[in-house]
Structure formats: structure tokens, C-alpha cells
Structure 1
Amino acid sequence: MERRTFLGGVAALGFAGPAFAQKGGAPEKTSVRLGVGGKPLLYYLPLTVAERKGLFKEEGLDVEINDFGGGAKSLQSLIGGSVDVVTGAYEHTIRMQAKNQKIQAVCELGRFPAIVIAVKKSLAGEIKSPADFKGRKIGVTAPGSSTAITAQYAMVKSGLKPTDAAFIGIGGGAGAVAAVKKGEIEVISHLDPVISKLDGDGDIQIMIDTRTEAGTKALFGGSNPAAVVYAKHDFIASHPNTMQRIVNAHVKALKWLASATPEQVADLVPPEYHLGDKPLYLRAVKNSLESYSRTGIIPLSGMESVLDMLRRLDPALADAKIDLAATFDDRFVKAAGS
């Protein structure tokens, strides 16, 4: 996607100038614990930008970031009360509603999943489609996370059951790369920069690619929101000014990403995020730019797409009554851009 197109979309956010940091009243809580599942992944790049650019501090917040092995673990930490807010997959808001847990998204960070499903290159002749995943070892960030769910959805669409393969948590950084290179897994469902590193090294053959709009439509039939900022409804209700400032920081991060070059991104993030190969990291950033949210608002069609996916995977959700409007509170994004 051309950069001017991306910039045009971001203009819809209506970003303000220097006064933007003043959006929202005095925060009810200035020390915030935030959970994330695999922070070095480009899926969560807006969070890293907000941290490294000092955007949380501009908003008067001291944000402690807790990095877990995968999105499912971040969700567990929120439910358990060890973090206040999470940057994680939108789908968790739906799953929790079905369990009578009121979790709400407040800002979309990724409009496409940006998840890639690939097979170890030496097995490409045997594993030609998700229909061949039965009995295979599939590496994901963590079982139950969006990487696992996306692979399961591809399997179900190919006529398999979501339990027909073994899902192995390999984390989100160098350990994931090593798991493929050591032959510990046969298929990988993962994100950049891990995917770009493995692809560049010739270790994998890409099968499904949701980093782009075309690839997302091919798997899901339409848009499919990815990373969001979410929290418990009770926390949002009792800390509206704090939430506003958290959203302000993420929206400013999206604005910075819209005009930043891959080189600027690579220079901003910690060097270990490059996985020892900065040129490959640059290509990974270019591959991922199309996936970031343009408006910060989750479209209804995207919510419906995720719900349809979950209903097909989880019998407990097949007939569950889900109020999609209750999964996303758009007030904070709208206020950030006003």
C-alpha cells in the first residue's frame, strides 16, 4: 500500500496539534499496569511507539508494561487483577462477554490480524493447505491466543476440527525463530518480525497472509480487527480520565506511525527487536504498515467477522447471545480526535 493512502486514512482521526495531550481531565489513577502478549511483535508496535516516544508521560501517566508469553496470558492477568489495561486481540472481549465478564475495547490498533500461517519449507511438499494440519505441531505465541485461533479457523474452513492439531506456545521473539530452526514445530502461525526473519532465511513457505487487506479477505471474507486496547468495564467506568489519556497516547502513536519511515521505526524500538537482522526488520515494518488502524474505531462488519469466526470454533459461543455494541466503547477515540 502506498504511504499517501495510509496517510489519507489516518487523517480521518482528526488529530489535533500540541494541545492534544490535554484531552481528558485529571487522571484518577496515574500509575497504570498494562499487559501485553509479545511486545516485540509488530502487532503491538503502536504500544512500543507510545512507550518509546514518551507519549504516556505526556499524558501524565506512569505506565508499567508487563510482557507475557501471549495474548491469552495477558487476558488472564487482567481478569486476575494484576494489570489494569491490556493491549491484545479484540476477540477476547467477545469471549469474556459470553462468560459474563464485561471487558471492553476502547481503541483499535490493528484493522487486519497481520498473522501469517506458514509451513516449514522442508515439509512444504507434504503440508500443502490447512487440510493437512491434522496431527501436526503448530507453533503459536501461546495456546488460546489470536495466533492459535486464526490457525484453528483455517483448519475448520478446510474441514478439520480445531483440536486436530497440537498447538505449542513458542512466545513472540527469538525463541519463536529458534523453535522453527530446531524443528520443534512443523507449522507456524505468527507475526512479524518473526515471520519476515524466517521467510528471509528461507526456513518457511507462507500459506496464509493476513498482513494485507487482500489476505485478510481471502481467509475471513472481510475485515477482521486485531490488536485493541481493552479493560474491564468497571475500571473504564471508574477511571474515565485515565482511560482517555491511555487512548490519547495510542492515537498519537498511530499518527506518528502514519508519517514515520521504516528506518525511523527501527531506530525507535529496542535493538533486540530486530532479531539480529535490521534489514529484515525494515522489510517487516513495510509489510505491516497496511495492517494498522486508520480510525481507531472498530467497524461493525469487523466485529461481526470475529464473532462468526469464534462461533465456528467454540461450541460454547455457537448459540450465545452477544451484544457486539457492548464490546467496544468508541467515546475515547472520538474525544481524542475532536
Structure 2
Amino acid sequence: MKISLKVGMILIASFLLLIGAACSNKKDAVQKVRLAEVTRSVFYTPQYVALEKGFFKEEGLDVELKTTWGGDKTMTALLSDAVDIALVGSETSIYVYAQGTSDPIINFAQLTQTDGTFLVSREKVDHFDWEMLKGTTFLGQRKGGMPQMVGEFVLKKHGIDPQQDLELIQNIDFGNIANSFASGTGDYVQLFEPTASVFEKEGKGYIIASFGEESGHVPYTTFMAKETYLKENEETVEKFVRALYKAQKWVEKSSGEEIAEVVQPYFEDSDIETLAVVIDRYKNQGSFAEKMTLTKEGWENLQAIMKEAGELPERVDYDKLVNTNIVEKVMAE
């Protein structure tokens, strides 16, 4: 009887240990997150910092990053559940909403808060004035995307009609714009970094203005997900945002060179010196959204830019496609 009791107690203890181990494993289990970025850009530096510095891993996340090259492809991946979270321009969530959906795409954290492109001239300009663009050929970005819409918004701000006052070229694929300019197309071009700085270094062009400084704050690139994903994976998304917030704060307090050394693996064709210059340029104009909160003012500015470009399908209330609860919770910790 005593032996049976002893065996029974051992079995119960073993069972409790197994349950404890299972609960512990479940608690410590790494959660996989499939993330799609619309393009590979130094503009997204804090995201790469979160990956390289291990901030996602610290939160128990295994983030799988893929570059989907284009807003339409990125949104298709998100809508088809090929990815969980997308980093893309907020305008895409409006396009999807306007088409009608029972599971809207929600912007939950902002990575960049200005445009990331620069005006590059073929010839060196000592005293630039936007009036100089009149009568010239301007090589812009893809129609309907944020870079082109911001570009037109800034031109109009300076009294230039993009359709009447210059020859606007916007039918060249994003990946070929820089090469087209380098081969002789256009007097001016709208470029992202580090291409703009590389061109300047090689004498192919000269940075003369920042579209980000001219257009003001706008939710240029944000992290977004389906509404159902946010509801079903709130804890995971909270960890995701916490890691990004750590990265944003680290970028804010670090030098361009320190940051460049961390993100260089994502830009193997760029040297540390060029990356540092580019990162400092973005930091100085306040491009990285340290607080990550997509504001109502920014949302309205976005729609004003879209409307000005003739690309706003319908005005959408801030509360319908923006959820700042998670970001605010993380920042309050």
C-alpha cells in the first residue's frame, strides 16, 4: 500500500513537472512574424537596426523580412495572407478601403514621417530656386505612389504646374529611374537615398532640395496589418512595436557612422561613409518617426496630398484606418 502510494505520488509529481514544462515552453516559444517591406531603403534604417541589434529577438519574435518591391505587390501579399505585417505607404490602405473590404488594413505604427526623396540636378546649382524647373524635363516617380504625389504637391506649392510648366516623365519603372537619369534622361530627377548621394559623389548629379523638408509631416511609411490579425495577435504586435521603439530611440541617440555600421549588411553596395552621410541627412530633417504615432494631422496632410494629385478615391476618417493604442501603450511603459 505504501509502495503504491509512493508510486502514485511520483507519477503526480512527474505529471505536474510536464505541465509546468509545457507552460514554460509555450510562454518562451518564439513567435514568427512575416514582414514585407515595399522596397529596400536607408529610409527604413530603424527597422534594420531592430533586426541587427536583436531587439525583435529580445521580445521573443522571429521576424522574417522580405522585400516585395512596390506598393501593389506589398498590399497583395498582405491581403492574401502571404505576410502578416507590411511596411508601405499609408495611401495603400486608403486604396484598399475604397475598393471595399470586410477586413480593412489598419495603420498601427509609423516608421517615417516625411518624404524620403531629394531633388537632384544634372548640373551644379549654386543658388537654387524652384522657378528654375519651368521649361525643363523632370524625371519623377511612379504615378499614384507617395513619392510622385509629394513631388507634384511640392511643385504646386512653389507655383509650378507639373502638367503645363515642365515635361513630366513618370512612366519609368522605379528600379530604372536612376539609370535613366544617369544615361541622359531629364534635367532633374526625384531620387531616394543612397542613390542621390552616390550620384553626387560620382558627379552624375547634385542634391539641391529635399521633398521631405518641403512637404512637412506625413505618414509616409507605416506598419500595417489586417484588422483581424491585430485583434487575434495583439500581444505579438505589441512586442513588434516595442522592438521598433527601442530601435527608434537607439537611432536617435547614435551617430550616423555607428548606425551605418549596424545596417551596412542590408546595403552591401554602399560604403560606411556614404551610409553615414545619408542617415545623418534623414535624421537632421526628422524623417524617422521616433514616437511612431500616426497623428490625425499627418493623416489629413496625407489625404490633402493625394487629393491635390487627383489620387484620393474617397476621404477616409482617421479612426477607420488608424489604431494608435499599441504604440501609445508601449511608449507609456
Q: Smaller-chain TM-score range?
A: 0.7 to 0.9
| Structure 1, 147-156 or 108-117: larger mean CA deviation | 147-156
In the TM superposition, residue 229 of structure 1 has moved relative to its aligned partner by 1.0
Match of residue 193 from structure 1? 194
Match of residue 98 from structure 1? 98
Match of residue 311 from structure 1? 307
Uncovered stretches (5+) of structure 2, i.e. residues with no partner: 1-25
Matches within 5 A, 1:1-338: 30-39=31-40, 41-101=41-101, 102-121=104-123, 129=132, 131-132=134-135, 136-138=138-140, 140=141, 144-155=144-155, 157=157, 158-161=160-163, 164-171=168-175, 177-183=178-184, 187-211=188-212, 215-216=213-214, 220=215, 222-271=216-265, 273=267, 275-289=269-283, 290-314=286-310, 317=313, 320-337=314-331, 338=333
8 Å CA contact 2:144–2:311 kept in 1: the answer is no
Q: Pick closer, same or farther for the CA change 1:133–1:303 going to 2, 3 Å.
A: farther
8 Å CA contact 1:43–1:227 kept in 2: the answer is no
| 1:182-218 alpha-carbon deviations (Å, 9 max, x no partner) | 335654323222222222333223354034xxx23xx
Q: Pick closer, same or farther for the CA change 1:176–1:252 going to 2, 3 Å.
A: farther
In the TM superposition, residue 76 of structure 1 has moved relative to its aligned partner by 2.9
| 1:220-252 alpha-carbon deviations (Å, 9 max, x no partner) | 3x4223221111222212221121111111111
Question: How far, CA to CA, are the matches of 2:191 and 2:134 in structure 1?
Answer: 18
Q: Pick closer, same or farther for the CA change 1:276–1:252 going to 2, 3 Å.
A: closer
8 Å CA contact 1:70–1:145 kept in 2: the answer is no
Q: Which amino acid aligns with 2:108?
A: V
RMSD value, Cα: 3.2
8 Å CA contact 2:238–2:326 kept in 1: the answer is yes
Q: Pick closer, same or farther for the CA change 1:53–1:147 going to 2, 3 Å.
A: same
Q: Which amino acid aligns with 1:291?
A: S
In the TM superposition, residue 52 of structure 1 has moved relative to its aligned partner by 0.9
| Structure 1, 76-85 or 268-277: larger mean CA deviation | 268-277
If the length of structure 1 is used for normalisation, what is the TM-score? 0.76
Q: Which amino acid aligns with 2:276?
A: L
Over alpha carbons, which structure has the higher Rg?
A: 2
8 Å CA contact 2:136–2:187 kept in 1: the answer is no
Q: Which amino acid aligns with 1:36?
A: E
Q: Pick closer, same or farther for the CA change 1:115–1:50 going to 2, 3 Å.
A: same
Q: Pick closer, same or farther for the CA change 1:137–1:295 going to 2, 3 Å.
A: closer
Q: Which amino acid aligns with 1:104?
A: I
Question: How far, CA to CA, are the matches of 1:56 and 1:48 in structure 2?
Answer: 10
Q: Pick closer, same or farther for the CA change 1:195–1:178 going to 2, 3 Å.
A: same
Uncovered stretches (5+) of structure 1, i.e. residues with no partner: 1-24
In the TM superposition, residue 295 of structure 1 has moved relative to its aligned partner by 1.4
| 1:66-98 alpha-carbon deviations (Å, 9 max, x no partner) | 112234432232223322111122232333332
Q: Which amino acid aligns with 2:232?
A: S
Question: How far, CA to CA, are the matches of 2:178 and 2:150 in structure 1?
Answer: 19
Question: How far, CA to CA, are the matches of 1:165 and 1:27 in structure 2?
Answer: 53
> Percent identity over the alignment?
20
Question: How far, CA to CA, are the matches of 1:84 and 1:132 in structure 2?
Answer: 46
Aligned residues: 297
Runs of 4+ in 1 over 6 A off after TM superposition: 25-29, 122-125
8 Å CA contact 1:36–1:71 kept in 2: the answer is no
